[in-house]
Amino acid sequence: MADIIIENGYVLTMDSDVGDISKGVVVVEDGVITQVAGSTEQTADIVIDARGSVVMPGLINTHSHAAMSLFRGFADDLPLGEWLEDNIWPAEARLTDDDIYTGTQLACLEMIQSGTTTFADMYLHMGHVARAVEDSRMRAALSYGMIELGDAAKGDSELKVGKRFVGEWNGKADGRITTMYGPHAPNTCSREFLLKVKEQAKKDNAKIHIHVLETESELNQMKETYGMCSVNMLDEIDFLGPDVLAAHCIWLSDGDMDILRDKGVYVSHNPVSNMKLASGIAPVPALLERGVNVSIGTDGCASNNDLDMFEEMKVAALLHKVNSLDPTVLPARSVLEMATINGAEALGIMAGTLKKGYKADVVVVDMDKAHLTPRYDVASHLVYSAHGGDVRTTIVDGNVLMDNYEVLCMNEGQVLDDASEASENLIDRLHSNS
């Protein structure tokens, strides 16, 4: 007997060998998909009727700072320097372990409710982030964000914390948590420190998560410091490779894009955050044309305000159409690939596709709504019309985390209350120290 059968839904497999199934079933056993077909003879403990809905792979958010959900709307509409240096950094300095856990729980709740089943995170106090992920039953690739600023002693301390986190949490939560090294960026970490990180990551067989060329100021700073941009400096020290997930990648030259392609670097595109902070527009169509794997991330709520990957997909598609003045650029199916298949490959997990042997990370999207009627093209609707709030069921690793809009893996009311209280206390601490 199987654990779960999802039946009667439109199955968007994201498997090019199979295609979509207009009325199909997905069978789950022991956390793995065992059958995707038009029908099944099997029975299951849990049967989910997906009539009027799309059954699809869970979305994969490849760049976030989950606990920053506590900063949602905290310092909006400010120049980047003022936003970061005068508001975000002082607030982050006053975050407690409990704040990090509470903020991550809030982020996990939001992601579960909006169809994200896996996220990559880089932040502080990562043991408490990992604990929140474990308790929420989500899947995540986590890294401690290391900032060394050319201080060798600080670098040794940061790397020690990162190494300890990688060792303690990799493979935990029944394998749902993987760990990465998280040097913040080439302009906040020296060349010498980045070499140490690369060496340690190789020893631990761990991937690396890093911001690259998010801003023009980073580009100018790197040219002043090294006489070359971030990508060229990283390439010079042999830092780049298929073990690297590079977030943002906005200020790239053609040569930079060729290097990223040749070295097999994975890129996480964060369009809403990039637009809100006026950082620029990443050359995503050009990267995809070169064969670079580009996935989608939301960044943190301080620079996005929500973690809705459906919104992120729509913005990605529309941004590059208007930027290129070409409505054929980044079609809906390609954006869905970025948010599922590409994200899974970037994080090295067997997910992002509804296929036998893949992890049972599945969401059911309710299409029986006014803004989703009529339905000519399901992929188009998911990108251009659907919202995170249309997700009715979320399954991770074969566990039903939300069914028929009811969250089963945590106390929703308590999470909201805890987050509100934590944000109020944080503001009080900020004011008392200002």
Categorize the per-residue pLDDT at 85 as very low, low, confident or very high, splitting at 50, 70 and 90. Answer: confident
pLDDT in tens, 344-375: 999 999 999 999 999 999 999 999 999 999 99
Average pLDDT, the chain: 97
Backbone φ and ψ of 352, nearest 5°: 80, -5
Specify the pTM. 0.97
Percent of the chain with pLDDT over 90: 96
Q: Around Cβ 227, how many Cβ atoms within 10 Å?
A: 9
Percent of the chain with pLDDT over 70: 100
Two tokens at 340? 């599922």
The Cα–Cα gap between 343 and 244 comes to 13
Position 119 scores a pLDDT of 98
Position 80 scores a pLDDT of 79
Categorize the per-residue pLDDT at 79 as very low, low, confident or very high, splitting at 50, 70 and 90. Answer: confident
Q: pLDDT higher for 168 or 81? A: 168
Position 433 scores a pLDDT of 66
Q: Structural domains in the chain?
A: 2-57+352-403 (2.30.40.10), 59-347 (3.20.20.140)
The Cα–Cα gap between 19 and 15 comes to 6
Q: Around Cβ 246, how many Cβ atoms within 10 Å?
A: 27
Position 434 scores a pLDDT of 56
Position 431 scores a pLDDT of 80
Q: What is the mean pLDDT of residues 211-216?
A: 97
pLDDT in tens, 280-304: 999 999 999 999 999 999 999 999 9
* 119 strand-pairing partners: 61, 140
Q: Around Cβ 82, how many Cβ atoms within 10 Å?
A: 11
Position 82 scores a pLDDT of 87
Q: What is the mean pLDDT of residues 387-393?
A: 98
Residue with structure tokens 């403990």?
45
Q: What is the mean pLDDT of residues 203-213?
A: 98
pLDDT in tens, 241-277: 999 999 999 999 999 999 999 999 999 999 999 999 9
Q: Around Cβ 350, how many Cβ atoms within 10 Å?
A: 14
The Cα–Cα gap between 248 and 206 comes to 21
pLDDT in tens, 129-146: 999 999 999 999 999 999
> Under a CB-based contact definition with an 8 Å cutoff, are residues 334 and 16 in contact?
no
- Assess whether pLDDT exceeds 60 at residue 62: yes
Backbone φ and ψ of 143, nearest 5°: -145, 145
> Under a CB-based contact definition with an 8 Å cutoff, are residues 101 and 418 in contact?
no
117 Cβ contact partners less than 8 Å away, ≥ 6 residues apart: 57, 58, 59, 60, 111, 138, 139, 351, 361, 362, 363, 394, 395, 396
Residue with structure tokens 């941009």?
229
Two tokens at 238? 């042999």
Check the CA dihedral 45-50-51-56 and report its sign. Answer: negative
The Cα–Cα gap between 93 and 201 comes to 27
Q: What is the mean pLDDT of residues 29-42?
A: 98
The Cα–Cα gap between 247 and 294 comes to 10
Q: What is the mean pLDDT of residues 109-127?
A: 98
* 37 strand-pairing partners: 25
End-to-end CA distance of the chain: 61
Residue 242 belongs to what H/E stretch? Answer: none
pLDDT in tens, 87-102: 998 999 999 999 999 9
Two tokens at 207? 């991937």
Position 428 scores a pLDDT of 87
Residue 288 belongs to what H/E stretch? Answer: helix 284-289
- Assess whether pLDDT exceeds 90 at residue 430: no
> Under a CB-based contact definition with an 8 Å cutoff, are residues 83 and 299 in contact?
no
- Assess whether pLDDT exceeds 60 at residue 204: yes
- Assess whether pLDDT exceeds 80 at residue 185: yes
